[in-house]
């Protein structure tokens, strides 16, 4: 009966989704001008993850992960004329999420570097924190309850909790971004064990936009987790023809069930960088790149 309830819930959300999330640029009416706009961009960094958040008319810019080194991350910022980040957040100390910072360029000023207090990846962590010190960027560990300056949004760290003893994937900093009505959830490489712990301490994980954990691996994105998040759109950051077989067919099947529409599942290996337009309090849709 629980699954049936989930289906009805999804059906109601999906029906609403055509009004809120199914818009294209040509469908937007004049009344949309009354709402502020922002952008969430999943950068194509191959088999890795990097998400650029932009708000306040482009004045606010922040980063969730930086992909692998030698994946063209800094080139991606350069072509977007990004020379300043209010903050950057490293979800955990794996190279495909934090390795980009090994090539840290002085041309981009980062006000604060936040990072998950993941006990693993000590060599990578030490190297990146030394670079932060060289560039005069404060480096601050985060855990559940921390709020980050986020322009029009509210940005909260939901995981890891202070009591958590996970390292690696399950120590990923989970970031919730909200405008008070609409939400996005970024999970890094969180796997089913971490998802289960997060569910135990969270009353409301609903999010219209989900960054799919661990590149769509079969070890992440449990049905129980999807039931609570109830995403209307999902993005998988993954490399073309990667050796891991990501995204797993089982994960795609679950996401298709959760979103109700395979066209609401977006993959960087198929689409390249993916830009999501966020009309505050009104809607989210895939923008033109």
What domains can you pick out in the chain, each with its CATH number?
A: 2-17+38-269 (3.60.15.10)
pLDDT of residue 36: 73
What does each of the 289 residues of the chain score in pLDDT, given as a tens digit? 344 344 434 333 333 333 344 444 444 434 444 457 899 999 999 999 999 999 999 999 999 999 999 889 999 999 999 999 999 999 999 999 999 999 999 999 999 999 998 998 999 999 999 999 999 999 999 999 999 999 999 999 999 999 999 999 999 999 999 999 999 999 999 999 999 999 999 999 999 999 999 999 999 999 999 999 999 999 999 999 999 999 999 999 999 999 999 999 999 999 999 999 999 999 999 986 5
- Supply the DSSP string of 180-228, one letter for each residue: SS-EEEE-TT--HHHHHHHHHH-S----SEEE-GGGG-TTS--HHHHHH
Tokens 């979800």 sit at which residue?
Answer: 91
* Helical packing angle, 2-20 and 249-259, nearest 10°: 70
CB 85 within 8 Å of CB 114: no
Q: Which helix (H) or strand (E) holds 125?
A: helix 122-134
Q: Which of 91, 89, 94 is nearest to 139 (CA)?
A: 89
Q: What is the pLDDT of residue 37?
A: 82
Q: What is the pLDDT of residue 91?
A: 98
pLDDT given at position 35: 55
């Amino acid at each position: 009966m629980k699954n049936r309830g989930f289906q009805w819930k999804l059906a109601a959300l999906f029906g609403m989704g055509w009004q809120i999330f199914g818009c294209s640029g040509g469908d937007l009416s004049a009344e949309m001008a009354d709402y502020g706009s922002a952008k969430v961009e999943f950068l194509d960094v191959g088999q890795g993850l990097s998400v650029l958040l932009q708000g306040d008319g482009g004045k606010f810019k922040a980063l969730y992960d930086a992909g692998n080194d030698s994946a063209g991350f800094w080139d991606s910022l350069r072509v977007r004329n990004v020379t300043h980040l209010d903050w950057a957040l490293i979800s955990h100390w794996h190279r495909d999420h934090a390795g980009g910072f090994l090539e840290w360029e002085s041309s981009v000023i980062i006000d604060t570097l936040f990072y998950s207090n993941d006990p693993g990846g000590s060599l990578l962590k030490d190297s990146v924190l030394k670079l932060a010190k060289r560039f005069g960027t404060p480096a601050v560990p985060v855990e559940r309850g921390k709020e980050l300056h986020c322009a029009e949004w509210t940005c909260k760290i939901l995981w890891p909790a202070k009591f958590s003893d996970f390292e690696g994937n399950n120590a990923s900093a989970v970031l919730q971004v909200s405008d008070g009505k609409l939400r996005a959830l970024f999970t890094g490489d969180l796997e089913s064990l971490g998802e289960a712990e997060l569910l135990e301490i969270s009353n409301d994980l609903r999010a219209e936009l989900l960054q799919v954990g661990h590149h769509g691996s079969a070890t992440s994105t449990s049905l129980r987790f999807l039931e609570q998040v109830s995403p209307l759109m999902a993005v998988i950051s993954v490399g073309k023809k990667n050796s891991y077989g990501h995204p797993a067919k089982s994960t795609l099947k679950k996401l298709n069930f959760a979103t109700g529409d395979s066209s609401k599942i977006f993959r960087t290996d198929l689409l390249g960088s993916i830009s999501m337009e966020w009309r505050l309090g009104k809607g989210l849709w895939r923008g033109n790149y």
